[in-house]
A and B are shown apart, each in its own frame.
Chain A
Amino acid sequence: MSPSILGVDGLSVRYGDARAVDRVSFTLEKGRCLAVLGANGAGKSSLAAAIAGVVPPASGRVTFDGDDVTGWRSHRLARRGMAYVPEGRGLFPHLEVLDNLRVMLRGAVAPSERPAALDRCFELFPVLGERRRQAAGTLSGGEQQMLALARVLAAPPRLLVADEMSLGLAPRMVDTVFDVVRRARAQGVTVLLVEQYVERALALADDVIVMRRGEIAWQGPAAGAREQLVTGYLGGAAGQ
């Protein structure tokens, strides 16, 4: 058994009196891909945000790469090799494309390797090179998502936590985004994928967690997840 890179133990997230995530536990082994599925409001995004240090957990423990990182703020986790792509566009809308990449690579790569990583971003997504002087907020939705994901391929993190990357994208762009994750996996990146496209997520993931009302409702290998999902947990909301 390969060592676990992420351990979540009894993690809860609260917003005031509302409980968004309720005592969730799981482990994610190195090199594997875990998809977190569930209906709107099930607590998927809150779980991802708590793991990435953006939202403080109310209770529970998170371990990352052997360290207890509970309560760490996001920048420390980023420097330890966790890449989090938040829901919506994870970028700086008023900064130039080039500055966006420089900021994102700074936490991810040693100074001497940054120029090379920057070049790789432009090789992977030539359109970013063409628009390097343009404010990121003026790019199209698909281009913005490329910008947000470019660093994942140019400087592979130890763990990618991706929250609803495909949200609001054209079908063709959704393909591109999933392709990025596939290529990242090929490079050995461990992935935690929060998704709404169940079919695509199942095609990509090794394991699946289904959340309902903040709790884990089902957990198991992706291969056997389809029927569980459709019949038991998502009801009519399942599928594409």
Chain B
Amino acid sequence: MSAYLVGGLVLGGIYAIATVGLVLTYRSSRVFNFAHGAIAYFLAITFHWLAVDQGWPRLTAGLFTILVAGPVLGVILWAVLFRRLAHAPASVRLVSTVGLWVALPPIARVVYGHREIFDRLGMGPSPARTWKITGVVVDSNQIAVLVSALVVAALLAVLLRTTAWGLSVRATVDNPMMAGIAGIDTERVTAGAWMLGVALAGLAGVLLAPLRGYQDFQFTLLVIAAFAAVVIARMSSLVLAFGGSILIGMLQSLSQSKQAEDLLTHILPKDSIILKGLVPSIPFVLMLVFLLLYRGLAREQFLVDERAGDAVPLDPVVGDRSLFRRLAPLAVLLAVVVALPYLVSGLWQAVVAKGLALSIAFLSYTVVTGEGGMISLCQVTFAGIAGALTARFATGAGMATLPAVLLAALIVVPFGLLVALPSLRLGDLYLALATLAFAELVENMYFQLQSVNQFDSGVAVPRPRIGPIGFSGDRAFYYLLVVLFAVVALLVVNVRRSTTGLTLAAVRSSEPAAATLGISIIRAKLVAFGLSAFIAGLGGGLYVTYAQRSLPYVSFNALIGIVWLAVVVTWGIRSVPGALLAGLSFAVIPHFFSEHFSGGWLELPTMLFGLGAIGLARRPRGIVHDVTHRRRQRAAARATAAKVAT
């Protein structure tokens, strides 16, 4: 038992180091860094490369990584990205760091040579030295963590409480404008906070690797625990962040002990999903519990967005363009989509069908984020649940496939409402975190279920038939998807034009103003969220029908969802053609790379998707809007020039 206590303390210590870095950067710049774990991964790999490939002494490599590489990376990321984000709308701030989360791991693998790292080298001696202290075995890696956590806590307390720099940071956090007026260079303070925060991520990474290894999912687990601790700390208190981290580490460690296992197997049926997914799910359960707890408290503290009103300007009215000019590009796109199966052959027909199924799922982002202004990280989960249900209805219960897809999508809707309800009032960031928690929870529990997973072989789904027409061939199924995409797209466009759409536009552009007009913000957002869950469910059901197999743990895990979001915002979150192109590129680009390249090149598509989302900081409306808009601007300029000439 006491070994698990020490283990929990060590795990909690690593979480704490990561969490305080996250809180520090968020507080000083108002940018919540979803890429914190990816940065820890990047720096851990940097350490490994220095120590193994470059043959540096391990301690030197570790100190260099934490004290030099970390701060340098921090200041670079700040100068290139985070600084720009400070004045961006909330949704752009969120999505850009999500993009960084997607892009950084492949960048790390390309920069440092593509390879799997199987050893667990750390800064300390290897193999680790062990001591027996009052009956508990403690090794040098664990002691390194405990000492580091204590040093970080003490150092931060002294820095922030007693030094001039600490006072500058606290002043900047409290009132950035006033800090500038008082003579503080707030940009330098923020840059310093990012240097420190990224260095702390590096420290957490270098400490984690010898205990858990260098696989990138370990760093995802690390940052997810940190997210939960940040919620417990209400994004602000460093003390609560520390305590919350230790609590999560302790619970995770203790739940693995013999006593806890015995207890649980007594209460729960054998092979219960709760038993299986318990440890990885603890952070999410805690996060959801604390979100509900805090919801009642200090609502205004979360609700007030200091930049409410500058989010997304309403679309300009398209007045002087003729119907032909407006529809011509769409017609071209449509023609390409219709001709596509005849332009490509064999396996590629399946790839474009897959892309189209994804496009339908991606339309859910057009509703929830594009129209509703909310960042959801669990659209992929709605798709996955609906996919699994489709398989169950179609194969298990013998339903026809298309009704099964529809029924499954409808069943997902209440789930969507259930996730959104507790966090909507708390604001964008909390909704994003809650949806991420939900995605991971479902992934660890439901998707792992024996009846869903079937020993990683999944459940078969037959292609549909409508009367005499069968859609078993890829090309035929593709055309069915074209029709369905058009139907859903019309639905989305109609929602945009409806009263609900106008309501959402009003809420998006200023929540306080919309509320004073008597608009129920929560109801409008719930409608958007529920509809988006339905659309995501349709997409998920159609995706498994394309694949003829439902294996949600592989196709619909939370990290895939992160990449989904990155792709969609790259093309344009408010645009139907954007969703279409996003779905096609998500299927086509990786397949293209896998056919023509090998090795590190295969990382490139993911990297591009991530970088695309990062680019959002520069062009928040996506590629589709920029291309059409530029053309429109040129046309307007020509018109003015013509007028002047005559």
* A interface list, Cβ under 8 A from B: 52-54, 73-76, 78-79, 84, 86, 90-95, 99, 102-104, 106-108
Contact = CB atoms under 8 A, between A and B. Distances in A.
B328 interface: no
B164 interface: yes
Nearest to A79: B183
A78 B180 contact: yes
Nearest to A85: B181
Given A92-B174, A92-B175, A102-B167, A54 B180 contact: yes
Given A75-B186, A92-B175, A84 B170 contact: no
Given A86-B177, A103-B167, A106-B167, 4 more contacts: A75-B185, A95-B174, A99-B167, A104-B182
Contact of A103 (B177, B179, B185, B187): B179
Contacts of B418: none
Contact of A107 (B170, B177, B182, B187): B182
B175 A107 contact: no
A94 B167 CA distance: 12
8 contacts: A54-B180, A73-B180, A73-B185, A75-B180, A75-B182, A103-B168, A104-B182, A108-B183
A104 B168 CA distance: 10
B171 interface: yes
A75 B178 contact: no
Contacts of A102: 167
Contact of B174 (A75, A93, A104, A107): A93
A76 B185 CA distance: 8
A123 B388 CA distance: 73
Interface in B184-210: 184-187
Contact of B183 (A86, A94, A106): A106
Interface of B: 164, 167-168, 170-171, 174-175, 177-187
A99 to B, nearest CB: 6
A74 B167 contact: no
Contacts of B168: 103
Contacts of A107: 182-184
A86 B181 CA distance: 9
Contact of B181 (A78, A93, A95, A99): A78
Given A75-B186, A106-B164, A90 B181 contact: yes
Given A99-B170, A103-B167, A92 B180 contact: no
A91 B175 contact: yes
Contact of A78 (B170, B182, B187): B182
B167 A84 contact: no
Contacts of B180: 53-54, 73-75, 78
Nearest to B188: A75
A73 to B, nearest CB: 6
Given A75-B184, A102-B167, A86 B178 contact: yes
Q: Which secondary structure dominates where chain A touches chain B?
A: loop
A67 B179 CA distance: 23
Contacts of A78: 180-183
A102 B170 CA distance: 12
Given A95-B170, A106-B164, A75 B175 contact: no
Contacts of A86: 177-178, 181
Contacts of A93: 174-175
A52 B177 CA distance: 11
A45 B561 CA distance: 46
Contacts of B175: 91-93
A223 B177 CA distance: 36
B171 A95 contact: yes
A96 to B, nearest CB: 10
A8 B16 CA distance: 51
Given A102-B167, A103-B167, A54 B181 contact: yes
Given A91-B175, A93-B175, A95-B171, A103 B184 contact: yes
Contacts of A53: 180
7 A-B pairs with least C-beta separation: A107-B183, A78-B183, A74-B180, A92-B174, A103-B171, A75-B185, A94-B174
Contacts of B184: 75, 103, 106-107
A93 B175 CA distance: 8
A95 B174 CA distance: 7
A188 B21 CA distance: 46
A39 B184 CA distance: 33
A92 B186 CA distance: 14
Contacts of B164: 106
A94 B172 CA distance: 11
A91 B175 CA distance: 8
B174 A74 contact: no
Give the most central of A52, A74, A90: most B CB within 10 Å. A74
A76 B182 CA distance: 10
Contacts of B186: 75
Nearest to A135: B174
Contacts of A76: 185
A29 to B, nearest CB: 24
Nearest to A49: B177
B457 to A, nearest CB: 56
Nearest to A81: B183
Nearest to B183: A107
Contacts of A92: 170-171, 174-175, 178-179
Contacts of A84: 181
A214 to B, nearest CB: 21
A73 B240 CA distance: 35
B178 A52 contact: no
A102 B184 CA distance: 12
A56 to B, nearest CB: 12
A107 B175 CA distance: 16
A103 B184 CA distance: 8
Contacts of B183: 75, 78-79, 106-108
A94 B182 CA distance: 16
A163 to B, nearest CB: 11
Give the most central of B171, B178, B187: most A CB within 10 Å. B178
Contacts of A106: 164, 167, 182-184
Give the most central of B164, B182, B184, B187: most A CB within 10 Å. B182
A103 B181 contact: no
A204 to B, nearest CB: 22
A90 B178 contact: yes
Given A95-B170, A103-B167, A103-B171, A54 B185 contact: no
Contacts of A91: 175, 178
Contacts of A103: 167-168, 171, 179, 182, 184
A23 to B, nearest CB: 25
A50 to B, nearest CB: 13
A95 B187 CA distance: 20
A52 B182 CA distance: 11
A10 B168 CA distance: 34
A168 B392 CA distance: 66
A94 B181 CA distance: 17
A52 B167 CA distance: 22
Give the most central of A73, A91, A94, A103: most B CB within 10 Å. A103
Contacts of B177: 54, 74, 86
Nearest to A108: B183
A104 B182 CA distance: 5
B312 to A, nearest CB: 14
Contacts of A52: 181
Nearest to A52: B181
Nearest to A107: B183
Nearest to B236: A94
A109 B509 CA distance: 43
A95 B182 CA distance: 14
